[in-house]
């Protein structure tokens, strides 16, 4: 058992997920079986292998540049409403569970 | 003319030549949905007003003798992970049960600009997480060929809609096999294009470095027509490639003689169904008779694809799904504080598999485990991409099964996450490497269930993948129509 109930509670807290005691026990079992399965990756020596976060650098990339400069092909002019008009405020708020016409409303976060 | 059994070209020509109307095509498909979908469950939301508005536009063009666009009058289904302006888009989740997007997904907009009529939104596993469609928060989808079996997932509604003639074409999304595996299970064609070929703007994100949009269709040619429609640079998606889009329809009729096909031994280990193995062998014989060269290749890191995938996909998902917090859109469950509101909202809104994956992903990214899990998986991803790069020095594409077996029974694997994940063993590698891959029907099992084969190609070489699938699909010689249809 790599993962304990305490670990699951910690991770659930990080992920903002409320779990009942019963769900927590089920997740301990599932996470352990999944992590046991994933353990087989340690059979591979990857000490000299670069990590691959995405595959987008197969086209358009300027190989002579470093960092984000390599992806200049994907950049665009920094102008207001350059690609499309912004959503009108009423449209942007239309799906909100609670809004006052100007702002999204949430439970009080600052005590004073 | 059977209005619900047409290919894209047949439907479009029939409308163009005034043998039928776009309106009649839309009505015929809605009637079929009305009759059949209660038992199948392929659609979550219908948008008849929107479809009929488009039908009217197309019928007026035809009446005026104007040439119709490539998808003029073609009824389509859209997987419910693609945003549709003004039409509820749920991602199969309760947390988005009442969400109405304010804009259209680029792929959907391009389909409609090309004349397609969007009938409605198709069912799927919640946030596209699943291989059986049992994770839909609304209802499971039943396989039209055998209602006791799953349609595959996560694009199970899209595959079932096409297989049961409720749509000519459907769009799906594929993060680890979610277009190809359901296509295989339902006996239709499913194409995952190269990463970057099709814009994902407006696609509800699951794992951004692995997500693709692509078509599910009745023929390989239809897949080529749809790909030509939705492919190409979109300024709204920085990961979409600025590369010319070939005329796939013209490409697929070119002969396959001289092509080198790879067969990877790692895809034929234990656990592979004998009938699936036989389907591959038949395809090899056919390709040889057409003048293709068959070569053995090795993709030695294949057994590590699933564990690497489930770390990368869940890590990305845990980040992408952080936005569902009950503030700007979607479900909210009130709480005593902001944190309490977040936790209650997400607990009530997410189903069991989504919560499981968010927890694994959060764990893999958490302090102390990041290097051992997430970074390790990304290094293994490099090894898998290198396997393909080495193979593609010797061959033009690779032939494999799509899934280890035909469609399994509803409930058969729902208690065992690992058994469910292993369904994706042949499809996940192409997502990790960002390569195009197609599944097409290659025959029927002894139980009369469809079996699919997969062709994987070089990055941005959908032409070859489609061309090989096109010469093999005819060899299957079974009609895509499900047997329960009266008079079919």
Domain count across chain B: 1
Asked if the structure places residue B111 within a domain, the reply is: yes
Asked if the structure places residue B108 within a domain, the reply is: yes
Residues B131, B132, B154, B405: which is the catalytic one? Answer: B154
Report the distance separating Cα B279 and Cα B266, nearest Å.
17
Q: Are B381 and A55 in contact (CB under 8 A)?
A: no
Which residues, in sequence order, are CB contacts of B474 under 8 Å at separation 6+? none
Whole domain around residue B172: which residue ranges?
A: 8-254
Asked if the structure places residue B163 within a domain, the reply is: yes
**What backbone torsions phi and psi does residue B199 show, to the nearest 5 degrees?**
-60, 140
The reported pLDDT for the residue numbered B423 is 86
The reported pLDDT for the residue numbered B485 is 40
Of B239, B241, B418, the CB nearest to A37: B418
CATH number at residue B206: 3.90.1300.10
Q: Are B227 and B192 in contact (CB under 8 A)?
A: no
Bridge partners of residue B397, in order along the sequence: B261, B457
Q: What percent of chain A has pLDDT over 70?
A: 98
Contact (CB<8Å) B346/A54? no
The reported pLDDT for the residue numbered A82 is 82
pLDDT(A19) > 80? yes
Report the distance separating Cα B285 and Cα B294, nearest Å.
9
Q: Which domains does chain A have, with CATH numbers?
A: 5-42 (1.10.20)
Asked if the structure places residue B139 within a domain, the reply is: yes
The reported pLDDT for the residue numbered B90 is 98
Report the distance separating Cα B58 and Cα B67, nearest Å.
10
- Beta B260-264 vs B397-401: how paired, if at all? parallel
Helix ranges, B41-178 (H):
48-63, 106-113, 156-163
The reported pLDDT for the residue numbered B367 is 86
Asked if the structure places residue B375 within a domain, the reply is: no
The reported pLDDT for the residue numbered B332 is 98
Q: Are B113 and B18 in contact (CB under 8 A)?
A: no
Report the distance separating Cα B478 and Cα B187, nearest Å.
9
Rounded to two decimals, the pTM is: 0.96
| Test mutation, B97, B231, B307, B428, chain A, max A CBs within 10 A | B307
The reported pLDDT for the residue numbered B414 is 84
Which is it for the CA torsion B290, B291, B295, B299, positive or negative? Answer: negative
Report the distance separating Cα B176 and Cα B154, nearest Å.
9
Q: Which residues of chain B have pLDDT under 70?
A: 475-488
Q: Which of residues 32-91 of A touch B (CB under 8 A)?
A: 33-35, 37-44, 46, 49-56, 58-60, 71, 73-74, 76, 83-84, 87, 91
Q: Are B149 and B409 in contact (CB under 8 A)?
A: yes
Name the strand (E) or helix (H) holding A62.
none
Lowest mean pLDDT among A16-30, A60-74, A81-95, B277-291: A60-74
The reported pLDDT for the residue numbered B291 is 97
The reported pLDDT for the residue numbered B479 is 55
The reported pLDDT for the residue numbered B478 is 53
Asked if the structure places residue B348 within a domain, the reply is: no
CB proximity A97 to B under 8 Å:
yes
Report the distance separating Cα B251 and Cα B13, nearest Å.
21
């Amino acid at each position: 058992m790599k993962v304990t109930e305490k670990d699951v509670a910690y991770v659930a807290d990080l992920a903002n997920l409320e779990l009942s005691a019963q769900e927590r026990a089920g997740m301990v079992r599932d996470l352990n079986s999944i992590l046991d399965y994933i353990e087989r990756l340690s059979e591979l020596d990857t000490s000299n292998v670069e990590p691959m976060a995405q595959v987008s650098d197969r086209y358009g990339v300027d190989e002579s540049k470093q960092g984000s400069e390599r992806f200049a092909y994907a950049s665009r002019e920094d102008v207001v409403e350059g690609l499309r008009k912004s959503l009108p405020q009423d449209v942007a708020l239309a799906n909100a569970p609670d809004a006052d016409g100007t702002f999204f409303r949430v439970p009080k976060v600052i005590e004073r | 003319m059977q209005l619900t059994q047409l290919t894209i070209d047949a439907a479009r020509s029939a409308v163009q030549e005034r043998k039928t109307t776009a309106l009649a095509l839309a009505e015929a498909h809605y009637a079929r949905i009305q009759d059949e979908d209660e038992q199948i469950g392929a659609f979550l939301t219908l948008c008849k007003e929107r479809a009929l508005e488009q039908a009217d536009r197309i019928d007026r063009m035809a009446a005026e003798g104007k040439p119709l666009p490539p998808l003029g009058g073609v009824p389509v289904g859209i997987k419910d992970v693609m945003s549709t302006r003004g039409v509820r888009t749920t991602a199969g989740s309760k947390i988005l049960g009442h969400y109405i997007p304010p804009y259209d997904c680029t792929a959907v907009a391009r389909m409609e600009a090309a004349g397609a009529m969007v009938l409605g939104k198709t069912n799927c596993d919640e946030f596209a997480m699943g291989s059986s469609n049992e994770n839909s928060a609304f209802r499971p989808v039943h396989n039209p060929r055998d209602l006791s079996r799953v349609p595959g997932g996560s694009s199970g509604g899209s595959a079932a809609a096409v297989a049961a003639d409720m749509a000519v074409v459907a769009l799906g999304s594929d993060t680890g096999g979610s277009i190809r595996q359901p296509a295989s299970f339902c006996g239709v064609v499913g194409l995952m294009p190269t990463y970057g070929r099709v814009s994902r703007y407006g696609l509800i994100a699951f794992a951004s470095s692995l997500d693709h949009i692509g078509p599910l269709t009745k023929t390989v040619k239809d897949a080529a027509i749809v790909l030509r429609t939705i492919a190409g640079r979109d300024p709204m998606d920085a990961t979409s490639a600025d590369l010319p889009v070939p005329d796939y329809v013209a490409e697929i009729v070119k002969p396959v003689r001289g092509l080198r096909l790879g067969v990877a031994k790692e895809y034929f280990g234990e656990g592979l169904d004998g009938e699936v193995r036989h389907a591959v062998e038949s395809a090899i014989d056919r390709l040889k008779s057409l003048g293709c060269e068959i070569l053995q290749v090795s993709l030695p890191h294949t057994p590590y694809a699933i564990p690497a995938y489930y770390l990368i996909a869940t890590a990305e998902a845990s980040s992408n799904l952080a936005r569902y917090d009950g503030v700007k859109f979607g479900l909210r469950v009130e709480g005593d504080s902001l944190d309490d509101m977040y936790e209650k909202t997400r607990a009530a809104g997410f189903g069991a598999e989504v919560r499981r994956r968010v927890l694994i992903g959060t764990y893999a990214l958490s302090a102390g485990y990041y290097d051992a899990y997430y970074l390790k998986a990304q290094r293994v991803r490099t090894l898998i991409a290198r396997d393909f790069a080495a193979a593609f020095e010797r061959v033009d594409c690779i032939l494999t099964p799509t899934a280890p077996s035909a469609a399994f029974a509803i409930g058969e694997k729902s208690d065992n996450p690992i058994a469910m994940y292993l369904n994706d063993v042949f499809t996940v590698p192409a997502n990790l490497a960002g390569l195009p891959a197609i599944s097409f029907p290659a025959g029927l099992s002894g139980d009369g269930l469809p079996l699919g084969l997969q062709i994987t190609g070089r990055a941005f070489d959908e032409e070859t993948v489609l061309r090989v699938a096109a010469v093999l699909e005819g060899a299957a010689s079974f009609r895509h129509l499900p047997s329960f249809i009266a008079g079919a």
